[in-house]
Amino acid sequence: MKLLSQEQIETLAKFKCKDLFTTSFFLDTSKNRLTKKEIQLSLKNLLFNSRKKLKEMSLSKAKKESLVQDLEKIEKYCQQNLSGSNFVGLAIFSGSECDLWKVFNLVKSPRNMIIFDHNPYIRPLSAILTEYHRICVLTFDRKEARWYNIYMGEIFELGSLQSDVPSRIKEGGWQGYRSKRIERHMTSRLRDFFKKTAKETFTLMKKHNFEWLFLGCKDEYYAELEPLLHPYLKEKIKARIKANPGDSANIILQKTLKIKDKLKKQEKEKIVQNFISEHEKDGLAVSGLENTLSKLNRGGVQTLLVTRHFSQPGKFCPKCHFLFTNKSECPSCRVKTKPLIDVIDEAVEAALNSSSDVKHINPPSPLDKYGGIGAFLRYKI
């Protein structure tokens, strides 16, 4: 299954394998960068190291057996499917004794890893999804309008509309006949065509839940169309691309992706800047792992900012599921805490479960100076 939506991750985040462990597997399968042999070799190494680690782990027999089965199933799946896959990454979540088996094909390469834990390790998936927006591209001129759906590096044409506006009057061709009446007639036809185009764009944007709208047209047509767009659409216009309806889908895709990457980068930089200014004025923001976990435990986090690939072991309370950096006892329940392989991943999960936003920031960024993690708060405690 291709990883496509936040819902898929949330379902996985809610999954709990009560007394047993689950296996989360990630493999970089980019055939652009790696040969088939190299991919097979990293798979072999990954499985070998995990089996070795598993032997050394002090787990109950039942837990170990379930994990051994997971690794066998994953190995078998890879042997049968890897060579035929065109995706650059693979994620598998398995819990042999608790009916968990989910395979995701990824559009962005993950780091190679296998993680044994109570619940699926979802951070790499959530980090991939936040990179993508559903983009509608509309290209148009006086003769034609064409719409595309671009998501996760793929493009689909949604449809097109032809106008009945006559071609421009060729110089000399209408000599002697040119009249204000003809020009007016053409302008009104062109206006009707743009009105139809604006209406259809609105319908498509709502139908496909697009987040961003990109327009490809000449300046003169943009000036005609823009005032006709619904305010909802005007808000969604994120960029203009140099393209027209005659361009191939691939050209439209390449131009869109280039601008999208630039916009994403700017968006992240702006979030970090806002975070810093909020933090500096002692407003609704906290920084550092300990402070962030404490606010997260109390449901006070609006948006969690986390540095990509930053991970750290931690503790959690088995009773109230609060997360800690290094507490041996839960201060509210007075029970012994349990160790976590990566408390940051748990923090991402906790944030998603409480409907907070999660932003993954590429390092290096100014967030590094604030402990690599922070949050915008819902309220001041």
Positions in the binding site for Zn ion (CB under 5 A)? 317, 319-320, 330, 333
Instruction: State phi, psi for 157 to the nearest 5 degrees.
Output: -80, 135
Judged by beta carbon, residue 49 or residue 354, the one nearer Zn ion is 354
223 vs 335 by CB, closer to Zn ion: 335
10 Å CB burial of residue 4 (0-12, 13-18, 19+) is: middle
Q: What are phi and psi of 130, to 5 degrees?
A: -70, -10
Cα radius of gyration rounded to whole Å, the chain: 26
E-strand ranges in 225-284 read 237-241
- Between 92 and 317, whose beta carbon lies closer to Zn ion? 317
What is the 8-class DSSP label of residue 329? B
Whichever of 182 and 320 has its CB closer to Zn ion, that residue is: 320
Q: How far is the CB of 118 from Zn ion (least distance, A)?
A: 16
Please calculate the CA angle 30-131-216 and round it to the nearest 5 degrees.
100
Answer for the pair 281, 272: CB distance below 8 angstroms, yes or no.
Answer: no
Q: Of the two residues 318 and 366, which places its CB atom closer to Zn ion in the complex? A: 318
- How many CA within 13 A on the CB side of residue 259? 20
CA atoms lying within 13 Å on the CB side of residue 337: 20
Minimum distance, C-beta of residue 116 to Zn ion, in the bound complex (Å): 23
Instruction: Give least dist CB 344 to Zn ion, A.
Output: 19
Coil vs helix vs strand at 327? coil
Q: Which residue has the tokens 């109390």?
A: 298
Which CB atom, from 54 or from 323, has the smaller least distance to Zn ion? 323
d(CA 14, CA 68): 23
